[in-house]
Chain A
Amino acid sequence: MTTRLFGTDCPRREDPRLLTGQALFVDDVHLEGMLHVAFLRSDYAHARLVNVDVSGALEVDGVVAAYTAADLGEYWQPGPLLVSPPPTIEKLTFRHATQVPLARDKVCHVGEPIAAVVAHSRYQAEDALARIRVDVEPLGAVVDIEAALQPDAPLIHEQFDSNQASHVIQEKGDYDAACARAALTVQRRFRFDRGASAPMENRGVVASWDAKCGELTVWDTTQAPIPIRNGLAHMLGIPESQVRVIAPFIGGGFGPKIMMFYPEEVLLPWISMQLGWPVKWIEDRHESFFATTQERLQIHDAELSLDAEGRILGVKDSFLYDAGAYNPYGLTLPINAQCTLLGPYDVPAYYSEFRAVFTTKPIVTPVRGAGRNPGVFVMERLLDLAARELGMDRTEIRRRNFLPPDAFPHDHEIIYQDFAPLVYDSGNYLPSLEKAAKMIGYDRFLAEDQPRLRAEGRHVGIGIVAYVEGTGIGPYEGARVSIEPSGRVNVATGVGTQGQGHFTSFAQIVAEQLGVELPDVEVITGDTGKFHWGTGTFASRGAVVAGNACHAAAVKVREKVIELAARSLDSSEQEIELAEGSARVKGSPDRALTLGDLATRANPLRGAVTPGTEPGLEATAYFGPERGSTANGVHAMILEVDPETAMVDVQRYVVVHDCGVVINPTIVRGQIVGGVAHGIGGCFYEQLVFDSGGQLLNASFMDYLLPTATDVPNVETDHVETPSPYNPLGIKGAGEAGAIPTGALFAQALEDALQIPGLEVLEMPLSPNRLFELMRDARSDE
């Protein structure tokens, strides 16, 4: 038998190329005659453009062209609305304004592109930027999301009567009645601020128009090449078949490399068609802080009502959501916050209302966690506060409110981001909590370690929180699996890959079905020339949706192989087994044909194809889940605070997660650990700081602090497996899980470590400075 591959820790297929510097990233594309593009970006957060004069730029050595909005003619169009609001939510208003290729009449955030310069080198293009004259008439910046809704706030999109983009109410049960009979209601205001995705590779686009063939090739750091291909073809008026978008190796995505139709993504192909030369734009780190989308300012006013035993009677939440200057991504993020807030708990009554607000800040779209992080923060913090009021242990209040294992599927009676009802497919939360508590030594820590450390003058605290994450949403992905006469298996899917190990996990899925070794499977992702139906890698859906499509295609090929082998070996299909790269008759090892032989036989030139059958051992299949699968988990942490310096050291971190059936445990663990690091960044290091004029004050890696190796702990992981019933492989997504509950966990552990009366952590991220202030304020209130 072939060694089982699915579910095992095989080394990644893509690693040798990456380790030796041979993997192709977008900036590695070199084409003959390639020109380089740099963008002049707005220094102002909100201003009317009076005049843009690029004539000076054209005089600069090496400059080939310079463009403003006026040069774009008909091509100047606002970008598409990528996600429309769920039509299934009744109480919903929504209006959208999407980003434009180059600002024409006004700029709505710092960094919005105003002009593009094309030169023989990036150095020269940047020289020319200094020679562009822009006359603006500043309008007031809109930064604070509460002030943005005031009648006197400057209006960002003048076609609307206010800066409110949306107002949504979702309800379940009767919260007021629940509150009326509650023994305890806790109410607080919570704030979750903006952070950046900050993949190590910035964005980039190379576009090459071949006029003779009428073909456009675009290398793009996108998580979703197929939608980009389709959109570009439409905008440029060329057939989809004549546009090839390649997302080669991508140096991390974490959300914002989604099918945004960023200005640069739209302009580079157009410029290449104008000039007839290949053009390249590589975002630099400074511009990435404006030109790439961000997340997640939300301000929640929330309350939790409980009975005397700590059972949840209802939750009420009203929040403001910062959409940034444009809202092409619709309502995905606030709806995620709204839905994820409910967590693994039985919440009989829920009233949730939000307003999405335009501000003069960079655009907001999903970043790892995608709105779920603030939702979890609000609920978990409310439970902590309630437990404290009730004198109840933090794990006990959660235990009492978990949905029991027989509650699934559980309908929360509100609508999720995929427009379908929020139904949890599966889960078993108590074992996760108990496992995590045991792994971190929760009881012993509280009973023995903490008092001892406290006596030594050390401030060490523990936290434990739970969350649920909707993953693996539709609509669909596809895959084509084919066997070559050499016996090699090719797999092509449409999703892009940004480090998730798809080259390996998809190969594992296919190799398992076809009985071949991993090195015999070649996976191609992210090239519309190879596969051109699908959506993209986001929302923790790659493995779930594309993985199941690979599985479905492999199953079809397996059937073809078995059918042909049975025919060729004079056997019945039931007797054929696939192993070691061959199809053979069970019990008769001599009666076997290699997959390569069978692929050769399936080739019509050799006469083995009868009328009505298809040539080749090849199949394409698609998978579209009815609805997403629900991953969940419990995180626990021990941290130490130095109350004198306000520096924090995370000493232990435990994750028990349920992402259904696991394809490759090492890869999943890598996703979780990486997510935790991103989450810790969002607790104590990473915060995008805007001043009241809409200027980002930390637009570099000197001041926007990604956690380093000395800032993150080792993460101990374990898992509980409840397979998703919504896909054949039983998989759930894992890409975002690590980052989602970290803020809630950090806050709880911090309070536990400090135990300063009145010190409540109701905001994320913190910093040493902010923690110093919180401690000082709490002490002065004593």
Chain B
Amino acid sequence: MPERLAISVSVNGERFERTVEPRLLLSDFLRHELELTGTHVGCEHGVCGACTVLLDGDPVRSCLVFAVQADGHQVTTVEGLAPTDAAALERVDGHDPPLHPLQEAFRDRHALQCGFCTPGILLTMIPFLEENPVPSEQEIREALSGNLCRCTGYQNIVEAVQLAAERRGQ
């Protein structure tokens, strides 16, 4: 029998304890063990950025980390972005779920088409905006360049990030 290790990972603030093979990629752990399928897998060799999650607050490729390495660490996935406080829920109209400001900006600027790369882009750009509250277009494009998107041509994503930055500044 292959070696299996007990791990405990905090994902979106919730602690999960599982026993896994050391070779299990963090991306597969999130998707298939925890059924947090919002993290998407596009290449499994660290190029496309679709699987980007936050590991202790920093964006990393979850296909290039083993789940056992996340033992005792904190992971944030796209499912953990939207605010869950009562005030946020109140702002929401109709049956749409509450959204993080960057998610809202993505919707408002049509920054997604098929939406497959979107979770990875959100998780890349949220910490970027924390670090660069007033980014230039070129800075946004460089920060985005580790995430591939086949649908949008990036233009609306750049605009959405700019919009989120503007709204934040207001």
Contacts and interface: CB of A to CB of B under 8 A. Distances in A.
Contact of A18 (B82, B112, B141): B112
B33 to A, nearest CB: 10
Contacts of A675: 153
B114 A201 contact: yes
A780 B40 CA distance: 50
Contacts of A701: 43, 45, 47-48, 148
Interface in A251-294: 251-252, 254, 284-285
Nearest to B81: A20
B47 A714 contact: no
Contact of B152 (A201, A254, A674): A674
Given A12-B107, A20-B82, A666-B110, A251 B116 contact: yes
A18 B94 contact: no
Contacts of B78: 19-21
Contacts of A215: none
Contact of A21 (B38, B95, B106, B156): B38
Interface string A6-25: 00000110111011111111
Interface in B26-50: 31-32, 35-45, 47-48, 50
B144 A670 contact: no
Interface stretch (A224-232, A330-338, A702-710): A702-710
B115 A500 contact: no
Given A198-B150, A252-B114, A252-B150, A16 B96 contact: yes
A202 interface: yes
B40 A252 contact: no
Given A20-B97, A670-B151, A285 B115 contact: no
Interface in A338-365: none
A692 to B, nearest CB: 26
B110 A249 contact: no
B148 to A, nearest CB: 5
Interface stretch (B3-11, B65-73, B117-125): B117-125
B153 A674 contact: yes
A20 B99 contact: yes
Residue in B32, B39, B43, B113 whose Cβ sees the most chain A Cβ within 10 Å? B113
Contacts of B99: 16, 19-20
B54 interface: no
B126 interface: no
Nearest to B24: A123
A709 B150 contact: no
B169 interface: no
Given A200-B40, A670-B152, A709-B141, A702 B47 contact: yes
B38 A22 contact: yes
A202 to B, nearest CB: 7
Contact of B150 (A25, A27, A678): A678
A201 to B, nearest CB: 5
Nearest to A14: B115
Given A27-B41, A709-B145, A676 B112 contact: no
Given A200-B148, A702-B45, A30 B32 contact: yes
A19 B150 contact: no
Contacts, number: 184
A710 B145 contact: yes
A673 B116 CA distance: 18
A203 to B, nearest CB: 12
Nearest to B50: A200
B130 interface: no
Contacts of B50: 200
Contacts of B23: 123
A28 B107 contact: no
Contacts of B45: 285, 700-702
Given A674-B152, A701-B43, A25 B110 contact: no
A636 interface: no
B56 interface: no
A493 B27 CA distance: 34
Interface residues on A, range: 35 or more
Contact of A250 (B44, B96, B110, B114): B114
Task: Identify the interface centre among A14, A201, A715: most chain B CB within 10 Å of its CB.
Answer: A201
Given A20-B97, A701-B148, A673 B118 contact: no
Given A27-B37, A200-B148, A677 B154 contact: yes
B17 interface: no
A499 interface: yes
Contact of B35 (A30, A201, A498, A706): A30
B85 interface: no
B164 interface: no
A335 B97 CA distance: 47
A254 B81 contact: no
B106 A123 contact: no
A501 interface: yes
A393 interface: no
A501 B115 CA distance: 10
Nearest to B94: A519
Interface in A200-231: 200-202
Contacts of A12: 107, 110
A285 B38 CA distance: 19
A15 B115 contact: yes
A251 to B, nearest CB: 3
A30 B34 CA distance: 11
Interface of B: 1-2, 21, 23-24, 31-32, 35-45, 47-48, 50, 77-79, 81-82, 94-97, 99, 103, 106-108, 110, 112-119, 122, 140-142, 144-158
Interface of A: 11-12, 14-16, 18-25, 27-28, 30, 61, 123, 198-202, 249-252, 254, 284-285, 498-501, 519, 666-667, 669-671, 673-678, 700-702, 706, 708-710, 712, 714-715, 738
25 contacts: A15-B115, A16-B107, A18-B112, A19-B99, A21-B36, A27-B31, A61-B1, A200-B114, A200-B116, A200-B117, A200-B148, A201-B42, A201-B114, A250-B114, A251-B40, A500-B113, A666-B110, A673-B153, A675-B153, A700-B45, A702-B45, A708-B154, A709-B157, A710-B141, A715-B153
Given A19-B99, A708-B146, A709-B147, 18 more contacts: A16-B97, A19-B107, A19-B122, A20-B38, A21-B77, A22-B38, A27-B40, A200-B150, A200-B151, A250-B114, A285-B42, A285-B44, A499-B115, A674-B152, A674-B153, A677-B153, A706-B150, A710-B142
